[in-house]
Structure 1
Amino acid sequence: MNVWRPTADDIATSNVTALIERLGLEDYDELLAFSNAQPEHYWRTVVDFCGIVWDVDYHTYADLSAGKEFPKWFRGGQLNWVKTALKWADDPATVQQDAVVAEREDGSIQRVTYGELAQRVASFAAGLKAQGVKRGDRIGLLMENGVEATVTLLGIAWVGAVAVPLFSGFGVDAIVSRLSSCSARLLIATTGFSRRGKWVDTRKLVDEALTRLPDIDTVIWKRAAEPIHFDAKVLDWRAVADAQPDPAAERMSPEDPFMVIYTSGTTGKPKGAVHTHGGFPLKIAHDSAVHFNVKQGDVFCWPADMGWIAGSLVMSSALLRGATLVCYDGAPDFPDWSRMSRLIERHRITHFGSAPTLIRGLAANAGIAMQGDVSTVQLLITAGEGIDPEHFVWFQEAFGSGRRPVINYTGGTEVSGALLSSVVVRPIVPSGFNTASPSVEVDVVGPTGESLVDRIGELSVHAPFVGMTQSFWQDNERYLDSYWRTIPGIWVHGDLAMHREDGHWFMLGRSDDTIKLAGKRVGPAEIEEVLLELPEIAEAAAIGVDDAVKGQKLVVFVIQTAGSHVSPVELEQSLAKHVDGRLGRPFRPSAVHVVAQLPKTRSSKIMRRVIRSVYAGQPPGDLSSLDNPGALDDIRRAAGR
């Protein structure tokens, strides 16, 4: 059953239809086939459609002379992607339009127009140059979302330097490992921010990290009210930002990096994905137009930490398309669960994105959460992890007023934007994706690379694609091991997926989270969706645990719905009966543990890898992205440790 079907007006007014017409094609099916059969022609049209600003036009779409693992894009061209984001300042129709609206947790609001943003970026870039920042210098960025963080990231790219985003919840070791790995020479950081009404002091954390980072020769503080002693190596962000504007952006090759962003692996140190001026920004401009249907004058909000790929993705999705970016840097349930709907009402947001975990929290508190007017919403986005059909439909009904589509979107830090998503010219099914992203040859494959239909397999890509990481920072071997050597010649993404015969796609969790029960391979998301159908369960995580008899047994961790008074024993019985009826007796959990919280990243992804390791008494691996360390104690208690 389809949760949403496009109207004739949805189709006629969409960016996708405009792109189809520009390509001289008949419909979206033709566009999708054309994008893979003739990617050079497709991307030439996309670059023009999205208004990408080039200093020197490119002559070759892709150079594969170094192998498909190391493509070079848009050869011969020169550009600085920030010029595309700021071109709206040169247009009389948009120069006075709000570019960024930043709302703090305390309710204060800051606005800058496109004209003001362009001036601020040029001024901050000049201030960086005055400190000796050069092309290629790596600069750590540890700031809460808002106007200053937007100006900083754009300013770094403007001078040709390389941003290294850092999660605002990182500990000392995580900061040190990332900045030392890429030999960063400068750090731009906030002294602190408010979270649920309490001050989070980051200054002491950074000061400790700096004692272990000898390559850092300058720190620029975005300070709050507290005094700071400034000297030659410790500078005030506002002083740097007040420099005489430098209107000339550095001309960069499409292959020049503008960002190194780290993502945790299952094992080993974090991986530094390298993104370039001709990769990430062009992919996001494409996705914002094709998947999010963003147009000039729209108002785009998707609360995200600048330390993760979503921070840069959200910013670019709005600014590259001439929309207004609405930032919010506080807790989404502060002072209560109505904060998000009131944010939408206050700023007349048209495009709103949310992680599934937040959607579940909003749904569980719907009476309060929906007190704001959300009638301006035209399109919704969800990403970051799998979402069960019930909450997918709830999001569309509540925040989309039952009329607006929910765009499911999945890709990852290493690929910039979407591998799978949806478009507004096709029907959308609950929890699914109605298309592979155009010009990305996505497939679901078995162990030897054979294509699978209506069967679970590895999400993979058969050819290089715009937006894929250039490599890992100074670590080509690990990059090749991570993506290209599992099945030689195919990018294996590390996710389980299913491609149905009717054309819809579904994500079923990470492949290293795979559970094999009674000889059957199952993704944790499939089990969790069934568990979440029970009204007593607010959140769930499923893992496979080694068993001497069965090979693996299923263990689930659940958080009970607020107000639920069902005992753990009753809950386990109810859950077992429900799973028996929905999935069959072989999928009945061997153990059910009720916990107060599940380990998550700041972007609300449940860290099943960590749950499995801690429960089994093994080293938990990299915890730098863990937002709630106290959750590990619940897992240890469940394991009897």
Structure 2
Amino acid sequence: MSTTTTRSYTHEYARSMEHPEEFWLEASALIEWDHAPTRALDDSAAPITRWFPDGTLNVSANALDRWVAAGRGDQVALAYDSAMTGSKRSFTYAELLHEVSLFAGVLRANGVAKGDRVAIYLPMTPEAVIAMLACARIGAVHSVIFGGFAANELAVRIQDAEPTVIVTSSGGLEPGRSVEYLPIIERALAMIVGDRSVTDAATSSISVITEDELSVETVIVRNREAVAGSAREFDGHVGVRWVDWEDELAKAEPVGPVELAATDPLYILYTSGTTGTPKGVVRDNGGYAVALAWSMANIYDVHAGDVMWTASDVGWVVGHSYIVYGPLLAGATTVLYEGKPIGTPDAGAFWRMVEEYRVKVLFSAPTAIRAIRREDPGLEHLRRYDTSSLEALFLAGERLDTETYHWINDALHCPVVDHWWQTETGWAIAANPRGIEPLPVKPGSPTVPVPGYRVAIVDGKGNPVKTGKEGNIVLELPLPPGSLPTLWGGDEKYISSYLTAFPGHYATGDSGYLDDDGYVYVMGRTDDVINVAGHRLSTGGLEEALNHHPAIAEVAVIGVKDELKGQRAAGFVTLKHGTTIDHDVLVKELVALVRETVGPVAAFRDVTVLERLPKTRSGKILRKTMRQIADGEPYKVPATIEDPTVLTALEAALRG
């Protein structure tokens, strides 16, 4: 049931801006502390700041132990559903606490101590959640790496974080295929130690070291029946112990939570799509726990006993915040899904999950909804299931175009809530705060700044721009709790990456504007703004126009080189399932839409129809890579790409 509140968004936001110390100390009461903080913010080393500097706690204990002690031990904490294998399993809070305590004992028995790093390279199985919470329990810093990342990308992250232990599985499952993880890990370690049999080891992003200098001492392997491979096959390779998960559990002793400073690091998460040395976003213990607990109640309106399903992956920030930590800190039930929105087995997968687990809040990405729309434009599958438990659908990760918003909002009986945030912030920058005061929806906007975030729009020189005019979106410092305090490797890298371009502000790298009501509009990345004959055009605005065509399922617009105009806009579209339309007719109608909504200044005329758009596994369209291909430039296949063959198809379409 939703909470009854007399608070208003305007009041809460103003309080967070005018009295941040009071606001966040009050919010810190949502967490159980070993020693409660008496101060909210330490800004003595500004622009570097730390939250709750004198507080101590354990996030794993807050996620598990506190609820068992409060009598909620028999409530389901984690519900696992694998559409890939057909297997399902539920863990009560008491059962999950036992599993986490035991695996914390495994880590400790393998030499992991407070401050040590543990790399987690696992598929969407319960072991991923267990390993993360076990690290938090003993003060180890986990670095979750998306299962299936290529060896080179894995090696770069291992070298940067220097984990002593890698926790992995024999492999992951994708529709129609399996991905063996152990050979990838072996290859990554071989690259680091300069094994000459690894032909692509000579890469500028890896500094070759000796086996004695390798940080990794142990690889813990959880076998899956569906994927070949075991620790025994690799034990001793590059001087590393490879041990079996079950064997280690059998001899482990459970471990209790250790007391940690709020400012101690909880995890490192590398930003997707990085090249060269990746940026490792650091998340602290105390600020993150407070921000997530506050957001669960005030943004998502999810409380103890509710069911939240975040259809993402633990390898992404959304998975960290709202599959693992957020729901458990709130005493809710979290759902872990190994599958896709379509094809496992059909476009009704999401609605089946909502019915089966009585999901109150579903959190997904716009790309997942667009995929469902493409396969099932009439939502025939939705009518097969009882989704009456659903009170809100939250979307984030990519801009939610108004056409997709209206399509799904008209079909569901509950609100569809767009919200905007980043890996670096860890939780929403702008959202519709359903737990405080649900605000009127404006399609195309993620609504208003969340309490704690002061959003501004500036030009390239850092000067404020007029309301309604597009510019660089920046966040005034200090950032609120939960946001990154620094990058792994030092404050200087953090300052130069985010805090230098606009002094006193964090540069989001996104462009957009604020309207007269203070609503935020995020139009795209700043490097997605294109310059056509001196006119700066937002790709987001052009995509919005194209999405209104009834045949279009998905669209991406990029700026490509043009000798006369400098750049010209090029559109790439996919069609809804079963739709046929003459290409020349489609182009003519799309050009007319752009002229009508954006104007002739866009000079839009290039349209390419694709079977699929190139995307990351989190659903973000790879516009930069598309632009490089269209301009004939060399490009690197991003480590996060969902299917590399889509790039080959794009090249062929452009040549054709």
TM-score band, normalised by the shorter chain? over 0.9
Name 1:238's counterpart in structure 2: 246
Distance in 1 between the 2:70 and 2:39 partners? 34
8 Å Cα contact 1:291/1:407 also seen in 2: no
Name 1:157's counterpart in structure 2: 136
Distance in 2 between the 1:498 and 1:227 partners? 51
Distance in 1 between the 2:504 and 2:281 partners? 20
Name 1:535's counterpart in structure 2: 550
Distance in 2 between the 1:261 and 1:31 partners? 30
Name 2:51's counterpart in structure 1: 73
Distance in 1 between the 2:427 and 2:162 partners? 27
Task: Find the partner of 1:409 among 415, 419, 423.
Answer: 419
SS at structure 2 position matched to 1:71: strand
1:45-194 equivalence runs, <5 A: 45-48=26-29, 50=30, 52-68=31-47, 70-105=48-83, 106-194=85-173
- How many residues are aligned here? 616
Distance in 1 between the 2:249 and 2:266 partners? 20
Structure 1 residues 271-280 or 561-570, which shifts more? 561-570
Q: Does residue 287 in structure 1 map to residue 268 in structure 2? A: no
Amino acid corresponding to residue 172 of structure 1 in structure 2: A
Distance in 1 between the 2:339 and 2:499 partners? 39
Task: Find the partner of 1:620 among 597, 614, 635.
Answer: 635
Q: Does residue 350 in structure 1 map to residue 331 in structure 2? A: no
Q: Does residue 312 in structure 1 map to residue 290 in structure 2? A: no
Distance in 1 between the 2:20 and 2:251 partners? 43
1:84-483 equivalence runs, <5 A: 84-105=62-83, 106-213=85-192, 214-225=214-225, 226=228, 228-230=230-232, 233-242=241-250, 244-264=252-272, 268-314=276-322, 315-333=324-342, 334-364=344-374, 365=376, 366-398=379-411, 400-401=412-413, 404-424=414-434, 425=437, 426-452=439-465, 453-465=467-479, 466-483=481-498
Name 2:500's counterpart in structure 1: 485
8 Å Cα contact 1:362/1:369 also seen in 2: no
SS at structure 2 position matched to 1:53: coil
- Unpaired stretches in structure 1, ≥5 consecutive residues: 1-8, 21-26
Deviation (angstroms), 1:243: 5.0
Deviation (angstroms), 1:412: 0.9
- Map Cα deviations across residues 336-358 of structure 1 (whole Å, 9 max, x no partner): 11111011111111111121111
- Map Cα deviations across residues 434-477 of structure 1 (whole Å, 9 max, x no partner): 22010111222222333331111111111112122122211433
Deviation (angstroms), 1:57: 1.6
SS at structure 1 position matched to 2:523: strand
SS at structure 2 position matched to 1:220: strand
Deviation (angstroms), 1:66: 1.3
Name 1:574's counterpart in structure 2: 589
Amino acid corresponding to residue 532 of structure 1 in structure 2: N
Name 2:203's counterpart in structure 1: none
Q: Does residue 507 in structure 1 map to residue 516 in structure 2? A: no
Q: Does residue 631 in structure 1 map to residue 632 in structure 2? A: no
Deviation (angstroms), 1:372: 1.9
Deviation (angstroms), 1:513: 1.1
Distance in 1 between the 2:189 and 2:385 partners? 44
Deviation (angstroms), 1:568: 2.2
Amino acid corresponding to residue 638 of structure 2 in structure 1: L
Distance in 1 between the 2:355 and 2:119 partners? 35
Structure 1 residues 266 and 137: alpha-carbon distance in aligned structure 2, compared to 1, 3 A threshold: closer
Structure 1 residues 476-485 or 183-192, which shifts more? 476-485
Amino acid corresponding to residue 102 of structure 2 in structure 1: S
Deviation (angstroms), 1:244: 4.8
8 Å Cα contact 1:530/1:579 also seen in 2: yes
8 Å Cα contact 1:64/1:71 also seen in 2: yes
SS at structure 2 position matched to 1:558: strand
Distance in 2 between the 1:99 and 1:485 partners? 42
8 Å Cα contact 1:285/1:320 also seen in 2: yes
- Map Cα deviations across residues 256-290 of structure 1 (whole Å, 9 max, x no partner): 11211111467643211111112333222222221
8 Å Cα contact 2:221/2:231 also seen in 1: no
Q: Does residue 37 in structure 1 map to residue 1 in structure 2? A: no
Distance in 2 between the 1:126 and 1:195 partners? 32
Deviation (angstroms), 1:329: 1.1
SS at structure 2 position matched to 1:65: strand
Distance in 2 between the 1:103 and 1:553 partners? 46
Name 2:208's counterpart in structure 1: none
8 Å Cα contact 2:109/2:252 also seen in 1: no
Name 1:3's counterpart in structure 2: none
Name 2:567's counterpart in structure 1: 552
Amino acid corresponding to residue 216 of structure 2 in structure 1: I
Amino acid corresponding to residue 94 of structure 1 in structure 2: R
Distance in 2 between the 1:171 and 1:512 partners? 26
Deviation (angstroms), 1:88: 4.4
Distance in 1 between the 2:70 and 2:27 partners? 24
Structure 1 residues 505-514 or 53-62, which shifts more? 53-62
Deviation (angstroms), 1:300: 0.6
- Map Cα deviations across residues 518-569 of structure 1 (whole Å, 9 max, x no partner): 5332321221121111112111111112323212211111112222221322
Name 1:23's counterpart in structure 2: none
- Unpaired stretches in structure 2, ≥5 consecutive residues: 193-213
Name 1:596's counterpart in structure 2: 611
Name 2:199's counterpart in structure 1: none
Deviation (angstroms), 1:92: 4.9
Amino acid corresponding to residue 635 of structure 1 in structure 2: L
Task: Find the partner of 1:608 among 609, 618, 623.
Answer: 623
TM-score normalized with structure 2 length:
0.90
Name 2:198's counterpart in structure 1: none
SS at structure 1 position matched to 2:286: coil
Structure 1 residues 620 and 370: alpha-carbon distance in aligned structure 2, compared to 1, 3 A threshold: farther
Q: Percent identity?
A: 31
Amino acid corresponding to residue 222 of structure 1 in structure 2: R
Deviation (angstroms), 1:311: 1.2
Deviation (angstroms), 1:588: 3.8
Distance in 2 between the 1:519 and 1:33 partners? 40
Amino acid corresponding to residue 380 of structure 2 in structure 1: G
Amino acid corresponding to residue 397 of structure 1 in structure 2: D
Deviation (angstroms), 1:85: 0.8
TM-score normalized with structure 1 length:
0.92
SS at structure 2 position matched to 1:60: coil
8 Å Cα contact 1:262/1:272 also seen in 2: yes
Deviation (angstroms), 1:490: 1.2
Amino acid corresponding to residue 326 of structure 2 in structure 1: S
Deviation (angstroms), 1:416: 0.8
Structure 1 residues 324 and 179: alpha-carbon distance in aligned structure 2, compared to 1, 3 A threshold: same
Amino acid corresponding to residue 299 of structure 1 in structure 2: V
Deviation (angstroms), 1:93: 4.0
Structure 1 residues 92 and 281: alpha-carbon distance in aligned structure 2, compared to 1, 3 A threshold: closer
SS at structure 2 position matched to 1:328: strand
